[in-house]
Amino acid sequence: MTAYLQASGVDVSFGGLKALNDCGFTVQQGKITCLVGPNGAGKTTIFNVITGFLRPGAGSVSFKGQTLDGWKPQAIVAAGIARTFQNLRLFVDLTAVDNVLASMPAQTGEEPVAAIFRPFHVASAQRRRREEALAILNRVGLIERANDFTRNLSYGEQKLLTIARVLATGAELILLDEPASGLSAGALDGVMALLRRLQDDGKTLLVVEHNTRVVQQIADDVLFLHQGHLMAQGTPEAIVNDPALAEIYFGGTI
């Protein structure tokens, strides 16, 4: 059986620093897989490789049996993989619903020719898209903020909006870069419940997360990255309770 997402032998170097060193793992379809490891372990770097933002020096990534090597970010999103960014990268001068609309795939009127010559067609297509965008906002719990400018949203709301934006791409494999960091306890529970709901809807999630409580609650599978290499893969219990990994993760104080 071919793996859903498979990385094998991925090397990435920044100058003399090996950010990823023979990094390999698999992600199973329909599961929430958490990617953990100390700072600088290469978690965000592997996201950049999977989504085509960074070309690895060696190794390859395949999705549903198809290699993604050399693909542009655009083609990878079209294949069904989308990501969020740790620093959000929202369009803060656009409204929440426009952020979602801007992330929806190929739309009529996204180039000037149709916009100029078929204005009524474009407008009616946009009305339908807007309904879909509002439904996505509703799903992440931001429907009341749909027409507010993104810069006026709270940090927690902005994090939810990044999730709404990846949902808008229609991707089936969603890579989330620290969706729970910096959130209050209440907001944290909301995000965890949302991730569970996405899983129930058939999405596969690969999540970079630091908070061990979150990992234990949502992860089906945990990947432990250290110095750009996969140290261990297993259930949350097995990973969290492994004293050797805790030593690496917490710097030997435990």
Q: 3 or 88, CB closer to another protein?
A: 88
Query: Does the footprint of another protein cover residue 149 (CB under 8 A)?
Result: no
Site track 129-148 with another protein (rule: CB under 8 A), x = hit: x-------------------
Taking residues 27 to 66 in sequence order and writing x for each that binds another protein by CB under 8 A, - otherwise, the string is ------------------------x-x-------------
Pairing between β-strand 81-83 and β-strand 173-177 as defined by DSSP bridges: parallel
107 is a site residue for another protein (CB under 8 A): yes
Q: In angstroms, give the least distance from the CB of 238 to another protein.
A: 33
Contact between 169 and another protein (CB under 8 A)?
yes
Alpha carbons 209 and 179: distance in angstroms, whole number? 7
CA-wise closest residue to 55 among 17, 13, 25, 115: 13
CB of 199 to another protein, least distance (A): 22
Q: Which of 8, 38, 86, 114 binds another protein (CB under 8 A)?
A: 114
Residue whose CB is less far from another protein, 21 or 162: 162
Which one among 109, 141, 156, 234 touches another protein, defined by CB under 8 A?
109
> Interface with another protein by CB under 8 A: which residues?
51, 53, 73-74, 76-78, 82-83, 85, 89-94, 98, 101-103, 105, 107-112, 114-116, 119, 122-123, 126, 129, 165, 168-169
